[in-house]
Amino acid sequence: MTPPLVFVDTPVFLYTADERDMHKQALARQWVRWCWSERTGRISTQVLNELYHNAITRFRARMPVQQARTQVRNLRQWQPPHLDTFTIDGAWALQDRHALGYWEALIVASAQQQGCRYLLSEDLPHQQRFESVQVINPFRVRPDELPLDDER
């Protein structure tokens, strides 16, 4: 039984450093640890860029620039693909079909491109399905509650 591929949206990473909501911080950390240990985490270059920008602007006192850069460098191990025309065209199709904003559509298209079954996001409706990708709010579901790929 193989754990499903999970695309992690930027806010999940930001919550790992956000001490204003300890409950969300604990759940975000649990998800990120699980993705690392199971080698199921996927991201995009968009996520890396948003993470870096938000980390150094929102958490400057707690996360210096060098620490944010280290976190981004570490996440490069998840090998985010380069943004290509196929992903952009997919985002436009999702934008038109589901009335999504462009940046959200680009996240969903990136998850689809990488074969992810789930997209961890609180910015999209929990359990919404976009073709092969289902949105999971990481603050409503824990990693051990996900069905494995052969339990579909």
Contact 133, 112 (CB under 8 A): yes
Is the full-model pTM beyond 0.85? yes
Extract the tokens encoding 71.
Answer: 């976190």
The CATH homologous superfamily for domain 6-142 is 5'-nuclease (3.40.50.1010)
Instruction: Delimit the domains of the chain by residue range.
Output: 6-142
DSSP assignment of 49-100: HHHHHHHHHHSTTTS-HHHHHHHHHHHGGG-PPPP-HHHHHHHHHHHHHH--
Reported as a pLDDT band with limits 50, 70 and 90, residue 104 is very high
The pLDDT score that the predictor gives to residue 90 is 96
Of the chain, the percentage scoring pLDDT greater than 90 comes to 78
